[in-house]
Structure 1
Amino acid sequence: MDWADELASQVSGPQVVNDSKTPSGTVHVGSLRGPVILDVISRALRANDLETTLLYGVDDLDPMDAQALLTPDAIEREMGRPLAHVPDPVGDCHASYARHFAGIFIDIFAGLGVNPDRYYWMSDIYPTGAMDPYIRLALDRASLVREIYRRVANVQHPDSWHPVGLICPTCGKVGTTIVSQWNGDDVFFECRADLVTWAHGCGASGWISPFGGAAKLPWNLEWAAQWSLFGVTIEPGGKDLSTAGGSRDRSDAIAREVFEREPPLNVPYEFLNIGGKKMSTSKGHGAAAHTIAEVIPPEQLRFLFLRPRPNQAIEFAPEGTDAIPRLFDEFDRFAAATAGHEVKGEISPGYEATFRYALLDPAADV
């Protein structure tokens, strides 16, 4: 695949390729594009004899903040709690809501030929203390973090705002707390009833240590901290993260100025759309990844994501259309062209590499 091979030729030394997902509910099929792109990048790097580690993480300390994904009787009780602390909604022996939905998604990977060297769960990482140095740096440099938000994203935080989310020791919510003071050991937090519209805090407040799993970093800081913690050198991301002043710009600046390291190489990719609209886990839009994986064979599904370049959107409406038969026909056409047969119509440049990266075994005879 020309873009992946070109990327691999531009880097040197050991590489760590990373991606992560917030398991806010049933994961749509479009979310598989990221893991497949990660796998292709890793294959290209290894083909260039570069030592490569592929990581995939679950950001399961993020708060439950997607109302559409909760049953009405569960909204009041669970909104604002870390996804890792919300009970399994099905009761099928998963430890949490996060483990249930992330597990269903991750179980698809091996069948697609995506085999990370390591999976990590942020709910496992924070309690070990591995994130504590980054929490301390963020708090020590809170004024710099606020300045970065203003400069990069035009986001205005009050001077009392400190960049850490305390998990309330009384009600267990993280989406409703705000930290306003830091004395070098402890933070002063408030769990507010009116901090956000989608959850209500319990009113607790006080001084508490933010370390050892008692708190989490906000997303932009957590992302930048992951890059340092895991030594990430390449991280693809959806185009919504790469808009001017968006999450990637903020995290890049935080990585450089707060955590003092260069951010990883960015590979932005477009969305998989239905009727021109992006599939969304948090809004409940889009066919479930595990459902589509049961219908479309793995190589054809990989082909769906790899045929366009990463910066090109994919239009795919599997229900009530001929999208799936057309996908199979196009896969067969690329296979025939790769085998040296004449095919009808034009075929995109780099078709042979595209087809081979779609195969579970890229060295297989065609």
Structure 2
Amino acid sequence: MSTHGICVCLQSPTFSHGTSLNWAGTLSPLQIFQLLLLTLIMFPRFCCAHEQNVEETRHSAATPNRPTVVWLRPPEVGASTEGIRISEGPMYDNMFFLATNLKGYEHRFEAYPIKRAWSLVKSASTSDEVYCFFGASYRKERTTWGYFSQPSSVNLPMLIVVSESLHQQLVLDDVAPQQSQSGLFEMTSLERLLSDNYRTVLYSEVKNTFSEVIQPWVNNRNVIMLNGLGKDLGLHTIELIKNGRIDFGHVGHMELYSLTSDQLESTYVYQVEELSDDTRGTKRLFCSKTPMGKQVTEDFNYALANINQDKVASAQLREVSFIADGYPTLLKPMFDARWKSMQLRNTDPH
């Protein structure tokens, strides 16, 4: 059924009394009935079509076509999606805050498996739409097909989860006697774990600080390679540990603190000795290597500089970034100290 048929128009046709009398004198009752029926059918359609045209014109005038930035993230804990569109969640709030400061663009927020996201950045952008991955780590080889922004946040020490048997062995061997800076986790060495051929997991298409740091000690006995498409990698890593396929693996703070208290009680968390004191900028925007991608990256850096020069805006970004990364409240003082010391606006992009 046509939508025009359900439109209610507040106005009705009016005829002068003289005209109605003339028509009544020249038309038969059947013709008058047919004319009135036609008027009742056609006039609401005309009314609604006119209103729709006015509304479209008003919308077009209010929101002229602007280039679109598509912010990409992998599937993750805490994110609500409608199809591919990200609609809620801590990371959405983080991106949305930055997007509101990136003027002159329309913005969409979409979730894809990491391999698909990289493919979109590499080849799907057009002259008026650019795909940008939010949260990318700087890698020199990626500069051949994309532009990195300045970092928008700062890291906290990297954590790993170990199996119960490995935890008991570490305690027995006193391999991890050193207390971490946060006071929450003991530290252990990736080099020692991998040299003893304890197994971990790396995911194809995922390159991050963890995968980079362990490379000197990787062999075919201590690392398994998996495809992580469509999975939350941190929670999948915990599952692999519980199932006995690996002995330890990198898990983000957000995934850890999404666990229930009962799950946490049986989860053994350590801080990585090799990455305990390394303070670095994180969560860059990585855009396609197109003219628009370059422009968006430059505009993002400009917006970021403005945020960091405004005490209120900088504090807001610091808070949404802390929450988006899933850090527990106990780590807030360390995060704030690192945020201050990092001086993001002066960080070299490389």
Higher-Rg structure is 2
Q: Which has the higher contact order (CA 8 A, sep 6+)?
A: 2
- Relative to the length of structure 1, the TM-score reads 0.24
- Relative to the length of structure 2, the TM-score reads 0.24
Greater helix percent: which structure?
2
